[in-house]
């Protein structure tokens, strides 16, 4: 890792969403200008920067310094502080006010602005409202940098700074120091990784109850993102051990707490003796809701329909000029004997023909029916194969 120290001459590009910045830095004597790139918040031309990073060569822009961490080195001399305050970085302070502040507070001026802004009212021309304006402007300039520095010191990518600031504002530092696993709840996906990295760099034990609970939630959510409604308990426990170094005894205690807090639901799987399933509360509710709706639908009487194989064959032939196979005919008869049916099978097993056959029978019997699919693409495909309008389920 290389360190560069210099004066920020010009900001070429800055993304306010993630603080990615391209800038020109003046270094050494005689002064040489270099391009620096990286995630840097709250920097302004005229500031002195201490950068850590590496040199790289861009195919189009040539040699650049890629910043991995940075510090704004505030001036310590009276003259340096005066120039800093005269540079319009802080709202409410111009050359005249900067001179008054320096005359009154001397080398302590910047410390007063940051830590005792109420004392600014000692200066002629600064009332409570203006002191508050100066204080807020200072915080805006320096707060994002403090968060970036905290993230750097705790092994977290500084590109996450903007998202954390947006979520917590001025409470961000306090939350990351006292309750980092709040990030796991409030910043889906990346929040857990940030929180766990902070705790490991903070010396918090791997068996801290908050960490164990957060690891469980993370693994179950990760499983859900891969399409699984629940995670088998034995797989959960082995993952906790292998990935996070958490033994099954601690996992069981944490799991019980999460069940009591109604964040997790644990159910015994009747199909596998002794096996248990771990659900997120909201997914368990969704599954239970679907099950109850299906039960209600299955309890409804089936509308009378002629399921005679010869009758069904004739109707399909009449509409589609296709004679169903014996297997398709068996399925077709079964479909019209039930109130709710699931048709499943791999490619080429005849699902499309079966759907068209169902449509043909319903139309011959003058039944009202609706075609719907989960997505627009699927509904268009349904319309193509049936020759009828189809929509998405949510429409």
The β-bridge relationship of strands 264-268 and 276-280 is antiparallel
Q: Mind listing the pLDDT tens digit for each residue in 331-375? A: 888 888 888 888 888 888 888 888 888 888 888 888 889 999 999
Does 276 have pLDDT greater than 90? yes
Residue from 359, 352, 349, 353 nearest 315 by CA: 359
**CA geometry: angle 331, 332, 336, nearest 5 deg:** 115
Q: Residue 103 CB: number of other CB atoms within 10 A?
A: 12
| CA dist., res. 179 & res. 246, Å (int) | 20
Backbone φ and ψ for 336, nearest 5 degrees, come out as -85, 5
Facing residues of 280 across strands?
264
Among all chains, which residue has been given the structure tokens 């709040």? 182
| CA dist., res. 306 & res. 14, Å (int) | 71
Does 249 have pLDDT greater than 80? yes
Q: Mind listing the pLDDT tens digit for each residue in 223-234? A: 999 999 999 999
Q: Mind listing the pLDDT tens digit for each residue in 182-239? A: 898 888 878 998 998 998 888 878 888 989 999 999 999 999 999 999 999 999 999 9
Q: Mind listing the pLDDT tens digit for each residue in 117-169? A: 899 999 988 998 999 988 888 887 777 778 888 888 888 887 788 888 888 88
Whole-number pLDDT of residue 340:
87
Distance of CA 354 to the CA centre of its chain: 42
Q: Are 19 and 164 in contact (CB under 8 A)?
A: no
Residue from 238, 367, 224, 376 nearest 286 by CA: 224
Chain mean pLDDT for the chain: 87
Among all chains, which residue has been given the structure tokens 């302590």? 108
Whole-number pLDDT of residue 260:
96
Whole-number pLDDT of residue 372:
94
Instruction: Name which residue leads in pLDDT, 41 or 59.
Output: 59
Whole-number pLDDT of residue 48:
85
| CA dist., res. 149 & res. 357, Å (int) | 66
Across the range 4-26, mean pLDDT stands at: 88
**pLDDT level of residue 317 (50, 70, 90 thresholds):** confident
Does 306 have pLDDT greater than 80? no
Q: Mind listing the pLDDT tens digit for each residue in 100-111? A: 999 999 888 888
Q: How far apart are the first and last CA of the chain?
A: 56
Q: Mind listing the pLDDT tens digit for each residue in 164-184? A: 888 888 888 899 988 888 898
Q: Which of 18-27, 66-75, 255-264 has the highest mean pLDDT?
A: 255-264
Distance of CA 250 to the CA centre of its chain: 27
Q: Mind listing the pLDDT tens digit for each residue in 280-299? A: 999 999 999 999 999 998 88
Facing residues of 62 across strands?
58
Helix (H, G, I), strand (E, B) or coil at 71: strand
Tokens for 187, please give them: 């910043």
Q: Are 351 and 327 in contact (CB under 8 A)?
A: no
* Phi-psi label, residue 56: left if phi above 0, alpha if psi -120 to 50, beta otherwise: beta
């Amino acid at each position: 890792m290389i360190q560069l120290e210099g004066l920020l001459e010009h900001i070429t590009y800055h993304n306010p969403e993630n603080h990615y910045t391209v800038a020109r830095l003046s270094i050494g004597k005689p002064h040489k200008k270099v391009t620096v790139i990286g995630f840097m918040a709250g920097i302004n031309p005229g500031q002195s920067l201490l950068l850590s990073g590496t040199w790289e060569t861009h195919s189009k822009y040539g040699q650049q310094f890629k910043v991995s961490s940075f510090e704004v080195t505030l001036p310590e001399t009276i003259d340096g502080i005066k120039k800093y305050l005269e540079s319009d970085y802080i709202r409410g302070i111009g050359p005249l006010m900067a001179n008054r502040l320096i005359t009154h507070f001397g080398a302590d001026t910047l410390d007063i602005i940051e830590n005792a802004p109420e004392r600014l009212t000692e200066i002629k021309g600064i009332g409570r409202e203006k002191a508050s304006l100066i204080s807020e402007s200072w915080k805006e300039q320096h707060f994002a940098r403090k968060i970036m520095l905290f993230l750097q010191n705790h092994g977290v990518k500084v590109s996450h700074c903007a998202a954390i600031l947006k979520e917590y504002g001025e409470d961000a530092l306090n939350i990351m120091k006292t309750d980092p696993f709040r990030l796991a709840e409030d910043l889906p996906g990346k929040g857990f990784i940030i929180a766990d990295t902070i705790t490991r760099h903070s010396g918090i034990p791997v068996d801290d109850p908050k960490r164990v609970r957060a690891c469980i939630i993370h693994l179950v959510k990760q499983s859900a993102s891969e399409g699984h409604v629940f995670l088998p308990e034995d797989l959960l426990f082995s993952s906790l051990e292998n990935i996070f170094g958490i033994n099954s005894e601690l996992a069981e205690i944490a799991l019980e707490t999460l069940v009591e807090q109604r964040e997790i639901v644990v159910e015994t799987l009747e199909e596998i003796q002794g096996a248990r399933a771990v659900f997120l509360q909201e997914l368990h509710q969704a599954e239970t809701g679907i099950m109850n709706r299906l039960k209600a639908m299955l309890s409804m009487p089936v509308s009378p329909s002629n399921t005679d194989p010869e009758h069904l064959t004739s109707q399909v032939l009449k509409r589609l000029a296709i004679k169903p196979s014996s297997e398709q005919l068996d399925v077709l008869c079964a479909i019209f004997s039930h109130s709710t049916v699931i048709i499943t099978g791999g490619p080429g097993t005849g699902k499309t023909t079966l759907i068209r056959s169902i449509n043909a029978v319903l139309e011959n019997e003058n039944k009202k029916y609706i075609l719907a699919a989960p997505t627009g693409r699927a509904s268009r495909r349904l319309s193509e194969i049936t020759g009828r309008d189809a929509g998405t389920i949510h429409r």
